[in-house]
Structure formats: structure tokens, C-alpha cells
Amino acid sequence: MALIVLTSASGSPGVTTSTLGLALSWPRPSLLVEADPTGGSGILAGYFHGDVAHIGGLIDLALAHREGTLAEAIGRATMAIPDSVVQLLPGIRSHSQSASLIPLWEPLSAALRALERNGQDVIVDAGRLGLAGCPEPLIYGADLTLLVTRSTLPALSGARSWAETLRGEFERTGASSSLGVLLVGDGEPYGAREVSKVLQIPVTASLALDEDGAAVFSRGANPPRRFESSQLLRELRAAASAIQFVVNANRASLGVTPDVWSQT
């Protein structure tokens, strides 16, 4: 099992869209966790058009944790995304619930790692950095945390100060290689090389700007023609491979015995 976290510094660069796109392009079963403390479940409202009732999700897990039944409650708090091998753990309905999640993040991080037995990888939408209720134990405990950013000057200027904070924290724990950038809009105008130089974090993967394709994930729009072979979907699959490569390399350098993860 690998724990992959996507987060952003400012703006709305496409964390939710990319998290869902990655989960749906993932080569193995995955669990998508909506850990954005802003609340409002972007996926139930967007991809599902608000047609699906909000099951308890994370808030049920916060209650279960208080009762000491967290591990058993995870399965009940998730729902299947149709026509996929993705399970969704919906986030909170309102930001006012985010304080209830603070004691949950640490034990949830451990419980998610235990999903290894099910052969499930976990992909987390951590929302914007610095918000009250931010899932820091997931961000700093992940196999790979990706700072999602656009490549415009305002986006990079917003990402730069957070990049420094993240670098410092990952360096402190000796996990610098568990930090990467997911660049949305490579070359629009800046490219991966310039972005990694400015942020001093390697660009693990890049995604094309594709408004109509992205709307499939962010708003549940009908797929445009030839969506399956579009640049966005090809790059999502390439991003999934690049992420696996980094996680495997990190595990190898730690001398961790390869599991089913390395055979994909």
C-alpha cells in the first residue's frame, strides 16, 4: 500500500480534479480520501452532481475513533465510485466540522497504512495548506506528497513560500525524496525545469491544461470526444507510473521488502 497526498498552496490549481483523475487512472484498487478541511465534498457535489446522498465519511470515522473502533469503521464510511475500482471516503460537509478531525488524522494515517492487506493504495485530497484542520499527519507521513501548482507567476509565487516550509519539514525527518510537485499546465507559461528550480522540489509529473477533460472529473461533465486517448488521460496514467516509480525507489533505498506494489 502506498499513501499519496495531493495538496496546494494557493488558488485552485486542480487538486481535487487531479486526485480523482489519478485515482480513476490508477493501475490498482485505490481509496480516495477527501481530507480537504474546507468541507463540502467537491467530489459528491462535482463528479456526482450532488445526486448521491452524503454518507458519513470522515466525520463518522472521527466518532468511531472516539469509541475506539476506527479500523472497523473505514469500510462502512466509504462508497464505491461506479465503473471503477475506486472507493471514496467522503470529506466533511462543513468547515465547522474540521476541528473534530484534528485528533483523527494521526490514527487515520496508521489505519490507512494497514489497508495494505487489501492491496489498496490511498490517494488523498488534502486541500489547501495552512487551513484549520489541515491533515498534517497525512501530508508529512505520506510515501509521496505532491504540491500541486499551475505554472503561472502568481501560482509559483504562492507556492514558493509553502515549498520552503514543506522542504524544511521533509528534510527534518530525512524524507526529502517523499516530496514532489504535480505541475498542472506544463509550459503555460513555465515548464517543469523552471518550476523545479524555483520551488527547489522535483516535478514528479505534469498534466496538460484541458478544460473540457478536467470538467469530467471536477463537474461530472460528459466526456469530450476521444477522451480516453486524450493528452490529459495519457498524462494521468504517466503520472500514476511516475508516482509508483518514486515510491518504489524510496522504499528500495530504505531497504523495504517490495510488496505487490512493486509488481505493477
Smallest gap from residue 83 Cβ to ligand ATP (A): 20
- Residue closer to ligand ATP, measured from CB, 11 or 137: 11
Among 209, 238, 248, 251, binds ligand ATP (CB under 6 A): 209
In angstroms, rounded to a whole number, what is the distance separating the alpha carbons of residues 56 and 34? 12
Q: Is 206 in the site for ligand ATP (CB under 6 A)?
A: no
Smallest gap from residue 77 Cβ to Mg ion (A): 20
DSSP type of residue 206: E
In angstroms, rounded to a whole number, what is the distance separating the alpha carbons of residues 211 and 209? 6
Q: Considering only residues 104-133, where is the footprint of ligand ATP by CB under 6 A?
A: 127-128
Q: Is 181 in the site for ligand ATP (CB under 6 A)?
A: no
206 pairs with which residues across the strands? 183
Q: Is 16 in the site for ligand ATP (CB under 6 A)?
A: yes
In angstroms, rounded to a whole number, what is the distance separating the alpha carbons of residues 166 and 61? 27
DSSP type of residue 117: G
Residue 176 makes CB contacts below 8 A (sequence gap 6+) with: 167, 170
Q: Is 16 in the site for Mg ion (CB under 5 A)?
A: yes
Read off the C-alpha cell for 167: 522542504
Smallest gap from residue 127 Cβ to ligand ATP (A): 6
Q: How many residues make up the chain in this entry?
A: 264
Smallest gap from residue 148 Cβ to ligand ATP (A): 6
User: What residue ranges bind ligand ATP (CB under 6 A)?
Assistant: 8, 12-17, 36, 42, 127-128, 184, 207, 209-211, 214-215, 218, 232
